[in-house]
Structure 1
Amino acid sequence: MARLGSLADHGEAVIARRAHYAGFYGDAPLPSGYGLVVGNCQAESLRLVISSDALPTVRMPAVHELSADDTARVHDLLRGASFLVTQPIRDDYRGLALGTAQLRASLAPSARVVTVPAVRFAGLHPFQAVLRLPDFPEDPPLVAYHDVRTVAEAARIDIPAALEPPAVREIAEGSRAELRRREARGLDVVASDLFAPVVEDLARTVNHPGNALFLPLGERIVAALGAPGGAVDPGRPILASVRAPLEDWVVDAWNLDAAPRPDWIVAGETLPADVVREAHLAFYRERPALLAAVVDRMAPLLATWAAAA
C-alpha cells in the first residue's frame, strides 16, 4: 500500500507542477510579446519584479530542475520570445543545452537579452555556506546549508561562537568582491553595489536575497530591456520560504533596525537552531569523507573564524 501511495503522491506532484507552470508546458495561452527569465532559485523572484503588461513573462522551473524534455520546451519558447533575462550558465549545463550561448542561439535576431548575476551575500549570515560537492550530492538535513561553527565542532576545530564587527564586514566585503569579479566578465546588469547599506531585508540566507535586493535589481533589468515603467513590488516577501537565523552579534555589527532571531523559519514554522545543529552533527558524524570535503571547501571561512578566536 505504501508503494501505491507513493506512486499516487508522485502523480499528484506532477499534475501540480504542470498546473503551476501551465504556460511553460503549453497548458495555458502565452501572452503576446512574452519573455523568459532563466536561472537558479533567484530567477522566479526576478521574473516577479519585472513582469508587467510591458514585459509579460512565462513562469518556468529553475534551471537545475529542468529535464531533457523541459530543455526542448525552453528552446521552443525562446524561438517565439521577445526577450530573455538570464544568469550566466555554462554550456551543456547538467548535460543539457542550457548554456547562455545555447539559449541565445534559439532567439530571434530582434529579441533582447539581458544577463544578470547570480547573487550570494554573507554579510547577514557570515557563518553560513551553501555547497555543491560533486562527489557528495546529499544536502544536510532540515536545511541545505552548512554552518561553519557546526562544521568546526564536527571536525574538532577551535573557532569562536560569534565574530566582532570587523570580521563580519570582512566576510561581507568578500561577498561583494566575488560578485564584482563575476560582473566584470561582461554582464549587462550589476548588483554588487546594492549590498550597501546593509539592511535586514537584503538576504534571507546566503544565497536567497530579499526584496531590498530584488526590487532595485528589477529596476535595472527593466531599464536594460528598454521597457517603460519600472520594477513591480509583489506586495509580499519573495524567496522567503527559508529564513536563516539573524544573530544578535550580526545585528550589532550592522546596527540593524531589526530584532535578533535565533532560530530558523522554514515554510512559516520556527525550526530551532539547536535542532538543526544536532541533526547536522549527526549527518557529519555518519559521513566522515563528506565532512572532510566540506572542511576543505570552507577552509577560507574557517580560517577567518579561527583568526578571530
Structure 2
Amino acid sequence: MTGRRRHYAHFYGLAPVTRDDRPLVLVHGNCQAESVRVLLDFPASPVRTVRVPPVHELTADDLPHLHALLEQVDVVVSQPVRDGYRDLPVGTAEVVAAGARRPRLVVVPVVRWAALHPFQVIVRSPAAGEPPVVPYHDLRVLAQAAGRPPLPEVPAPAAVRAVRELSVGELARRHEAHGSLPVTDLLLAAGAAATHTVNHPGNDVLRGLAGRVLGALGVEADVPDPGRTLLDSIHTPVAPQVLDALGLAPAAGSTSGPGAQDWLVHGERVPQDVVRAEHLRWYGEHPGVAEAGLVRHAAAYEALAA
C-alpha cells in the first residue's frame, strides 16, 4: 500500500466513510479546496467530509473510486473546473452529473489576490515546468530576463492600488462567470494577513469562505480556527511600501512590514536575491517563458511601469 493510498484511505475504500444523518460533502479542486474541506471537518460540524486527491493529481485509475464515492455524496463543493480537465471527466459539471444522489452544487472561487504581492504572478508552462526554489514568478525578473524596460524595485503607491483593483476585477469576472461564492470582501478585511502568496489565502479568508459554504447549505455555524496555519508551505515577503500604499499594518508573525526581505519556504528563510538569481538562470535555460509571462500579465506589468 502506498503512502498516497493511506492518505486518501476513505477515497480508495480502505476505510469506511463516517455514516450518520449529516450530509456528506465532497470538496473538489486544488489545495485551496482541501483547506476549505479541513475547515468544514471541525468537531460538531453540521456536515461530513471525505479527503480526496486534488483534481490535478487524479488519474484514470482513480475514476472508479471517485464514482463509488459520488454514490454517497449529498453536496459537491467545487472550484470551477472545466470539462475534460487533463483529458479526464473531472470537470465540475461532470462530477456533479456522476453523483448518483443528484448532489447539490456549491461553487467556491479559485482565489488569486495580488494586492500584497503586486510583482508576483503565476505562469503555466507545461514544457518547462516550474522554476526552482519557488513556483512563482516576479514581473521585475521576467522583464529583466526578457530584455524589457525594467520595473521599479519599489512600486509606486498608485501602482500597488492599481494591481489590487486588477485582482478585484478578476475575482468579480470569475464570480459572474461561475456563480461562485464571493470572497473579495474577506480578502480586503483580512488586510496584511489576506494571503501568503498570490494563490495561498490566509486562515481568516479560508474560514470566512468555509462559513459561506455552510451558509449556502442553510446551516449557521462558526468555523473554528484549525489551530495551525493552512497553506503554510511558502510565504512571500511583503514590502513595507506596499502596506503603506494600502493603508495596512503588518500582520503579526508574518513576512510583512519593515525588514521583510526573505521568503519562507517550508520553514526555511530564502533571500530574495537567491530566488532572483536562480530564476534568471532558469529563464536562460527555458527561452520564451519570460516573454510568455509578460504577455499573460501585461495589465499588471503596465500598471507597475506607469
TM normalised by structure 2 equals 0.90
1:94 lines up with 2:86 in the alignment: yes
Partner of 2:300: 301
CA–CA separation in structure 2 for the residues paired with 1:241 and 1:186: 28
Task: Note the 1:47-196 alignment, pairs <5 A.
Answer: 47-52=37-42, 53-109=45-101, 111-134=103-126, 136-157=127-148, 158-196=150-188
Q: Deviations over 1:189-228 (max 9, x none)?
A: 2112222235122101011111121111111101111234
Q: SS of 1:175's equivalent?
A: helix
Does the 8 Å CA contact 2:235/2:264 hold for their aligned counterparts?
A: yes
Q: Does 1:251 align with 2:238?
A: no
Partner of 1:16: 3
Change (3 A) 1:289 1:110: closer
Q: Do the aligned partners of 1:49 and 1:215 also contact (CA within 8 Å) in 2?
A: yes
Distance 1:77 1:297 in 2: 38
Tell me, yes or no, if the aligned pair for 1:223 and 1:230 is still in contact at 8 Å: no
2:160/2:245 contact within 8 Å kept:
yes
Tell me how far 1:257 sits from its aligned partner. 2.4
Whole-angstrom CA distance in 1 between matches of 2:224 and 2:74: 19
SS in 1 for 2:177: coil
3-state secondary structure, aligned to 1:85: strand
> Which amino acid in 1 is paired with 2:294?
V
Contact 1:143 1:276 in 2 (8 A): yes
Any idea what the Cα deviations from partners look like across 1:270-291, whole Å, max 9, x if unmatched? Answer: 1111111100010111222222
Q: What is the SS of the residue equivalent to 1:199?
A: helix
Query: Counterpart in 1 of 2:16?
Result: 29
Residue aligned with 2:242, SS: helix
Q: Which runs of 5+ in 1 are unaligned?
A: 1-13
The one-letter code of the counterpart of 1:255 is: G
Q: After superposition, what is the alpha-carbon deviation per residue over 1:16-36, rounded to whole angstroms, capped at 9, x for unaligned?
A: 222221111212210124221
Number of aligned residue pairs: give it.
Answer: 293
Correspondence list, 1:158-307, <5 A? 158-197=150-189, 199-258=191-250, 259-260=257-258, 261-307=260-306
Alpha-carbon distance, 1:124 to partner: 0.5
Counterpart residue number, 2:29 = 39
Whole-Å separation in 1 of the counterparts to 2:238 and 2:27: 30
Task: Give, in angstroms, the shift of residue 98 of structure 1.
Answer: 0.6
Gaps of at least 5 residues in structure 2 are: 251-256
Within 1, Cα distance between the matches of 2:63 and 2:201?
Answer: 26
Correspondence for 1:11 = none
Structure 1 residue 188: Cα displacement: 4.6
Alignment-mate amino acid for residue 71 of structure 1: L
> What per-residue deviation string (whole Å, max 9, x for no partner) do you get for residues 232-272 of structure 1?
32121111111111112112222332134211101111111
- 1:237 counterpart SS class: coil
Aligned-pair CA distance for 1:56: 1.2
AA aligned opposite 2:88: L
Closer/same/farther in 2, CA of residues 228 and 255 from structure 1, 3 Å limit = closer
The answer (yes or no) to whether the contact 2:197–2:234 under 8 Å persists in 1 is yes
The answer as to whether partners of 2:188 and 2:194 remain within 8 angstroms in 1 is: no
CA distance in 2, matches of 1:113, 1:299: 34
Paired letter, 2:243: V
By how many angstroms is 1:110 displaced? 5.4
Deviates more, 1:298-307 or 1:272-281: 298-307
Percentage of pairs with the same residue: 44
Q: Is the 8 A contact 2:28 2:55 kept in 1?
A: yes
SS of equivalent residue, structure 2 residue 269: strand
Deviation at 1:175, TM superposition (A): 0.5
Whole-angstrom CA distance in 1 between matches of 2:46 and 2:207:
17
